[in-house]
Structure 1
Amino acid sequence: MHDFLQQTLSGEAPAQRQGETPYLRWQWHDRGILQLDPKGEPQQALVLSAGIHGNETAPVEILNVQLNALLCGALPLRQRVLAILGNPPALRDGKRYLSYDMNRVFSGRWQQIESCDEAQRAARLEQALTRFWPQADDGLPRWHFDLHTAIRGSWHTRFGVLPLNPLPWPEDFLQWLGAAGLEALVFHHAPSGTFTHFSCARFAAASCTLELGKALPFGANDLTQFAAAQQALAALLSGAPLAVAPVAPRRYRVTQQITRLSEQFRLHMDAETRNFTAFPQGTLLAEDGETRYRVEQAREFVLFPNSDVAPGLRAGLMLVEEAG
């Protein structure tokens, strides 16, 4: 296999479904699902995913660069890796999704919606992780990075969203996020339907959704903006020393979720409102019939405001900044 992305977009199975290089053995499991195992003893068991939303192309290109370097033998591999391009039909069409937002239906939530491409794919991805990690039930640290870009502009260009986790976050995991160039980390304290919540809750993996810039079509991304993320990924995969982040990411905690309940929903933010825009206490954020969403703390920051979601889905998160 010479180019994982092009093979995935083609919709065809590769003529050769497994192979090896001087450093690794690879196996194609399904469209957009590739496993790589080092020939030496691994240090970690990693899941690297991108393209859960098909219009978020920069992370797909970043991941593909690393995979192609591994497959051609230009980069050694020290970890077990499951690489995933999440929503191939949406990637091919350049759309966020075809029928339903896949990153809302993990942890079995796909069973609660009408059968569609995204529901079926979420089920297959859950199965892929279930097959991959039990093989690594040997004390290897389990990390999952799900690479995304945001719909809107942001006061923090690169940031991470960490799911609900009852366990302390590993210090080397947090250090890696800083070395990858993330300017902020957002900590969830409630369950959700995201891919990273599934991997963390089901397999006790250290998981993070990485938001790297703004959603653009294939070919329109300036990957030099993500040099730190690419270098951190290469170091992680090859076992090379990790660069030290010059500044630790700022930390935010989710305080409330804005949910669209009905067709009456109105979000009081325009299309130019950036992620991490601050609002003072009492500000009316959204309304939905008799329901009102207001800023509850002295100062809250908005994340992922989006009125164009189906009823029952998240239309935004509100955050408070925590002391460093």
Structure 2
Amino acid sequence: MTSNVEAAVPAMLADFLAYTLSGARPGPAEALGACAEGVSYAWLDEGVIELTPAARSGRHAMPVVLVSAGIHGDETAPLELVSRMIADIARGEVPLACELCIVLGNVAAMCAGNRYLDDDLNRLFCGRHAQLTQSREAPRARALEAAAARLFERAGGERERWHIDMHTAIRASVFERFALLPYTGAALSREMFAWLADAQIEAVLLHTAKGNTYTHFTAESFGAKACTLELGKVRPFGENDLSRYAGVDDAVRALVSGRARADAAPMPRVFTVIGQITKHTDAFELLMADDVANFTPFAKGTVLARDANYCYAVTHAEERIVFPNRTVKPGLRAGLTVVETTAETLAGLAR
């Protein structure tokens, strides 16, 4: 790579994360442009950029891909991965074979070093932001819905739609890299599971009810193949070992570049949600250590939580806890319980 090509990369694309965190906003002349291999870019909003390949022929068959990170402001590793991929596309090191929208989610929370400012942004999609008009996260949820709509509605009815939403977990996990698939009632996609296997995802969690996450919004509203990825544990900027997520990074790059998958990788284990622990009042007790890992198993009869007139006890031979959090606001989820359903899920995947 020659130095003059390096110099041609716009500063905004050379480090999109740093550019966004600096509060910079491009003027009209800088918001649109082109970089290596004729890829065009358009800055749409704070932390939101679209990248479009030069080739016009075959565009109608090109997939459209949304890659989001930082929906929680303290989840930094995916932000660093995405910013690095943008730079590599801009330098021509990653060919682009899709229409790509990159979203850096809760920028205000990133700058504050917090998960969110007023409300969990990933509970405000599917229009729920309209119920919390005073929340500083509500306008951002509305803007990110609009960014997804712009991308997917422009694609028409036949083109493949993908949404990869990358997170890191608050706590450690029995499976360091796991995925969550939103529930829409549609058949599960074998192609999605194969992609997750290529990404070295160890476990998949299947929701059984509709939610208000970003991936629920894109899957239900636009039929996107959507997944939420949990990659390791929350760490400050600059303290992430990105090599631990090389499989995910490579799979995302393969998706946006149209690169064929390698030999079939082992499928992840699958777990299905069978219960939710809800914090109803401030008297709520979560009866486990604060550092218990996601997917920790508990035997039948174990009491996991109590509240004023509520008790959650394990009713299956084994249930595992995911996302336990005693500090959520009353009325919110304080944990999910799941059981393993690997064999029946993989056997029933749509061809």
RMSD of aligned C-alpha atoms?
A: 1.2
Which of 267, 271, 275 lines up with 2:290 in the alignment? 271
Residues 35-50 of structure 1 aligned to structure 2 (within 5 Å): 35-40=50-55, 41-42=58-59, 43-50=62-69
In structure 2, how many angstroms separate the alpha carbons of the residues matched to 1:240 and 1:95? 36
Residue 76 (structure 2) aligns with: 57
In structure 2, how many angstroms separate the alpha carbons of the residues matched to 1:71 and 1:28? 14
Residue 109 (structure 1) aligns with: 128
Q: Which stretch of structure 1 is more off in the superposition, 17-26 or 152-161?
A: 17-26
AA at the equivalent of 1:241? A
In structure 1, how many angstroms separate the alpha carbons of the residues matched to 2:283 and 2:263? 48
1:256 aligns with 2:275: yes
Q: Which stretch of structure 1 is more off in the superposition, 207-216 or 3-12?
A: 3-12
Identical columns (%):
42
In structure 1, how many angstroms separate the alpha carbons of the residues matched to 2:173 and 2:315? 22
Deviation at 1:103, TM superposition (A): 0.7
Residue 26 (structure 1) aligns with: 41
Residues 6-21 of structure 1 aligned to structure 2 (within 5 Å): 6-15=18-27, 16-21=30-35
Q: Secondary structure at the match of 1:74?
A: coil
Q: Secondary structure at the match of 2:72?
A: coil
CA separation of 1:130 and 1:323: change in aligned 2, threshold 3 A:
closer
Residue by residue over 1:8-42, the C-alpha shift from the partner in whole angstroms, topping out at 9 and shown as x without a partner, is: 11112124101112241110000001011112234
Residue 108 (structure 2) aligns with: 89
AA at the equivalent of 1:77? L
Deviation at 1:138, TM superposition (A): 4.3
Tell me, yes or no, if the aligned pair for 1:169 and 1:206 is still in contact at 8 Å: no
In structure 1, how many angstroms separate the alpha carbons of the residues matched to 2:269 and 2:135? 38
Which of 205, 209, 216 lines up with 2:228 in the alignment? 209
Tell me, yes or no, if the aligned pair for 2:288 and 2:304 is still in contact at 8 Å: yes
In structure 2, how many angstroms separate the alpha carbons of the residues matched to 1:133 and 1:63? 20
Q: Matched residue pairs, number?
A: 324
AA at the equivalent of 1:164? Y
Tell me, yes or no, if the aligned pair for 2:177 and 2:230 is still in contact at 8 Å: yes
AA at the equivalent of 1:27? A
Tell me, yes or no, if the aligned pair for 2:184 and 2:210 is still in contact at 8 Å: no
Tell me, yes or no, if the aligned pair for 1:66 and 1:233 is still in contact at 8 Å: no
In structure 2, how many angstroms separate the alpha carbons of the residues matched to 1:176 and 1:89? 32
User: Taking structure 1 as the reference length, what is the TM-score of the superposition?
Assistant: 0.97
AA at the equivalent of 2:190? E
Deviation at 1:139, TM superposition (A): 1.0
Deviation at 1:245, TM superposition (A): 5.1
Residue by residue over 1:50-96, the C-alpha shift from the partner in whole angstroms, topping out at 9 and shown as x without a partner, is: 00001100011111111111122221100111100000111112111
Deviation at 1:116, TM superposition (A): 2.1
Tell me, yes or no, if the aligned pair for 1:106 and 1:195 is still in contact at 8 Å: yes
Unaligned runs of 5+ in 1: none
1:218 aligns with 2:237: yes
In structure 1, how many angstroms separate the alpha carbons of the residues matched to 2:33 and 2:221? 30
In structure 1, how many angstroms separate the alpha carbons of the residues matched to 2:133 and 2:332? 15
Unaligned runs of 5+ in 2: 1-11, 344-351
